[in-house]
Amino acid sequence: MAATLTRDQRDTAPGHAATPLSAFVGDDGQELVRLHDGIAGYVRAGRWAVMPSEPLGVASTVPAAVEELLDRLGSMRLQPVVVATEQPELWTRHGMYPTRVADDARIDLPSFTLAGKRMAKVRHAVTSADRSGLRVEPYRPEMAPGVAAVSSAWLGTKRGGELRLTLGCLDLDRLDPSTCRVALDPADRVVGFVTWRSYGQSGRVLDLMRRAPDAPNPTMDALVAQSLLTFRDDGIVEASLNAVPLSHGPLGERIYPTASLRSYKEKFAPRWVPQWMVVPSRTRSLLALVAVVRAYSPGGITQVLRRNARAARS
């Protein structure tokens, strides 16, 4: 049977996430499985168990946790599909089939700087934000109404609402000054915010990115850049700007606008780490992909298309 975690257990689980996407294991909406050597989370889509990544746990025990998890899912007659992993060998040793589906944008923070030709666009955006009077500050509880208003306005442009699985949902009770940065205009109005999660011994992965419709153009660049600089100065070793799916042509762009997203993240000069979707067999890849879409958005492909139609046209 699937288990549930207490709120405190969910909040501390990301501390055992070895990779950026495993920081999303255990989110609300997932069914949790307690393992001898870790915790796994999945969204049920028909007879599929759609998992964001490998189980949480100490790195040396994850292989055993994977084996136990597959046995447990088999006993529940659920077919496993892993949305993205950078360690496909954890699963292929059990006969599963991998397909490269995305790249994760990683920043090595000790050497991160806004100087140099590759960072020119970000540097100019930060300068423009400063000139417009935009300020980036750590989250404070009194900012909650403004953050909620920005999130509501942003969601108003997404006809399908919030996605899930490897993307979080806004929870004001869990916002923290160390992992949330807020952009304020000269009138102290919240015009944007970003949130981050922890992974590994010293890593941060970008989660929510939201801005008001009338926010200055450089708002997001300033939020991400200032977050990275602060993490660097605090001794954080690595940051992930999260994964970008590989492009699959015009139809794929309608489902998820990957080209513009990759172009945006490329401005921060990341190194790209391949990510693999893993399914029980090659012949079940298409069915697994449909299950993944259902797990991200309960309304299925139609809702995802409606949600991203505006972004694809822009």
Same domain, yes or no, for 109 and 96?
Answer: no
Same domain, yes or no, for 72 and 122?
Answer: no
Same domain, yes or no, for 71 and 18?
Answer: yes
CATH number at residue 148: 3.40.630.30
Of residues 60 and 301, which shows the higher confidence score? 60
Express each pLDDT in 163-212 by its tens digit.
Answer: 778 888 899 998 999 999 999 999 999 999 999 999 988 899 999 999 99
Same domain, yes or no, for 157 and 36?
Answer: no
Residue 265 has pLDDT above 60, yes or no: yes
Taking Cα atoms as reference points, which of 211, 229, 259, 237 lies closest to residue 122?
229
Q: How many domains does the chain have?
A: 2
Same domain, yes or no, for 100 and 12?
Answer: yes
**pLDDT, mean over the chain:** 88
Same domain, yes or no, for 74 and 198?
Answer: no
The pTM is what?
0.88
Express each pLDDT in 131-154 by its tens digit.
Answer: 999 999 999 999 999 999 999 999
Let me know the angle formed at the C-alpha of 78 by 75 and 81, rounded to the nearest 5 degrees.
130
Same domain, yes or no, for 12 and 132?
Answer: no
Residue 2 lies in a domain: no
Domain of residue 249, residue span:
105-273
Same domain, yes or no, for 194 and 220?
Answer: yes
Report the Cα 155 to chain-centroid distance in Å. Answer: 17
- Please tell me the predicted confidence (pLDDT) of residue 185: 97
Contact 52, 21 (CB under 8 A): yes
Same domain, yes or no, for 139 and 88?
Answer: no
Same domain, yes or no, for 284 and 251?
Answer: no
Residue 1 lies in a domain: no
CATH number at residue 68: 3.40.630
Same domain, yes or no, for 21 and 110?
Answer: no
What's the burial of 139, exposed, middle or buried (CB within 10 Å: 0-12/13-18/19+)? buried
Residue 228 lies in a domain: yes
Residue 152: partners with Cβ closer than 8 Å, 6 or more residues away: none
Residue 193 lies in a domain: yes
Residue 208 lies in a domain: yes
Residue 157 lies in a domain: yes
Confidence of residue 119 (pLDDT cuts 50, 70, 90): very high
Same domain, yes or no, for 16 and 161?
Answer: no
Residue 82 lies in a domain: yes
